[in-house]
Amino acid sequence: MKIRISGNLLKPVVALLLTVMAFSAKAQSAEGEKLFKQNCAVCHSSHTDQKLTGPGLAGIFDRAPKGDWLKRWILNNEKLIKSGDAYATKIYAENGNAAMTVFEGQLDEKQVDEIIAFLKGPAPVKAKPATPGASGVTAEATDAAGIDPLYLILGALVILGVMLITLRGVRVALQNNMNRAEGKDELPETTFWQEVKMWMSGNRRLVGVICIILAFGGMKSCWDACYDLGVYYDWETQKGYNPEQPIKFSHKLHAGENEIPCQYCHNSVEKSRHAGIPTVNVCMNCHKGIQSGPQYGETEIAKIYVAAGFDPKTQQYDASKQNPLKWIKVHNLPDHVYFNHSQHVVVGKVECTTCHGDVKNMTVAEQKSPLTMKWCIECHRKTEVSMKGNAYYDRLHAALKEKYAGQYDVKFTVDKIGGLECGKCHY
């Protein structure tokens, strides 16, 4: 049996297939660009001849052997060189016998295909730097001004007071009209505060109860305010603190869009008490080749070169021209507080976002958590200890199972392993 497809039906089917293929190619290229930035951009420029650590990749498909040679080179260039491949040996010698990273085990063949598809495609379009508005700041950097809740409460009290005085005047006027109609005397002239005093003298027990409630409520508020005191009694170090840094560094661009792991820049977070501030050398790992950004163009990246004493034209460093960056710390703790990043990140398996907020969506780094003692204690009371597969807790886990035997609903939170002991956090 033969099936015929009419021309009217065939056209939309072909158009649909072409559209799907175009979108698939575009998606593959976008994924390839992301993979290239994460793995290759440190050493290679994608669509130019500019030499970084390795050669520029413009025209690579005209130079390299055909077939799957490029894929095999990316996955394991050492294996290709040892096999005696002529072009692989030539490239190795031309680059001073400097071996490229072996990506076999880090990237699969599909990911390498996506990188190659990106290199075959057109060069990515550079976004124009954001231009300041009339006020001198970009729209992204401008936040809507919020209203202090205290002003809202005060405003509500003022409105309530006006309403009470108005309603009192209406009540007195209506009562006097009724008294006149009935031939009675009008109400004596009294002020609002005189009426309040008269009401209080006639309802002394109720007034006493209200005063007691207000007194205890005030004491509770004072206690909570002291309990919630932040790092230092300095409003700059409270929630929302986002100081201007020497370089406009966007976490949203680097950690969010480019998916650079936090540990790449803060490389001591897994092995030290401190997360560490990235050195200029870490910045230069990428920006030796990436000389223009999507938001500020070359302006901010040029500051990195000044700090490193680097000349982007000659690709040379001059130690005499180095000028260290003075980053401003955002998250501060008082000197008598002990906090260990490696203990929380490695042993406790706490995510960075738990304390620092959604950094991947922050253009400017900002303190999102209060970092108060109360905040830490509450976290220790509700966070379960990650014991499964964690050798650090094997002995402790066995002891706790014996101690809490029969209590099936018990949760081994941090407070049950000494997380509330004063000496754990204070010297």
Domain CATH code at residue 66 = 1.10.760.10
Residue type, 151: Y
Q: Is the pLDDT score of 237 beyond 80?
A: no
Same domain, 268 and 222: no
Secondary structure string (H, E, C) spanning 60-107? HHHHCCCCCHHHHHHHCHHHHHHCCCHHHHHHHHHCCCCCCCCCECCE
Q: Can you state the angle between helices 192-202 and 204-227, rounded to 10 degrees?
A: 100
Single residue among 199, 233, 267 that ends a domain in this structure: 233
Mean pLDDT across the chain: 79
Same domain, 257 and 354: yes
Q: How far apart are CA 198 and CA 195, in angstroms?
A: 5
Same domain, 70 and 21: yes
Q: What does the pLDDT read at residue 67?
A: 87
Same domain, 54 and 76: yes
Same domain, 76 and 32: yes
The stretch 88-112 carries a mean pLDDT of 83
Q: Which long-range contacts (CB under 8 A, 24 or more apart) does 4-12 make?
A: none
Same domain, 14 and 92: yes
Single residue among 69, 97, 120 that ends a domain in this structure: 120
Most confident of 50-54, 169-173, 329-333: 329-333
Same domain, 89 and 21: yes
Same domain, 267 and 366: yes
Structural domain harbouring 394: 384-427
Q: What does the pLDDT read at residue 137?
A: 40
Secondary structure string (H, E, C) spanning 327-338? CCCCCCCCCCEC
Residue 39 in any domain: the answer is: yes
Check residues 68 and 147 and name the one with the higher pLDDT: 68
**Among 219-228, 238-247, 270-279, 313-322, which stretch is predicted with the lowest mean pLDDT?**
219-228
Domain count, the chain: 5
pLDDT band at 309 (very low <50, low <70, confident <90, very high): very high
Q: What does the pLDDT read at residue 21?
A: 52
Q: Is the pLDDT score of 370 beyond 50?
A: yes
Per-residue model confidence as pLDDT tens digits over 183-216: 888 877 777 778 778 888 888 898 899 899 888 8
Q: Is the pLDDT score of 325 beyond 70?
A: yes
The stretch 347-372 carries a mean pLDDT of 90
Single residue among 178, 205, 233 that ends a domain in this structure: 233
Residue 80 in any domain: the answer is: yes
What is the model's pTM? Answer: 0.50
Same domain, 340 and 256: yes
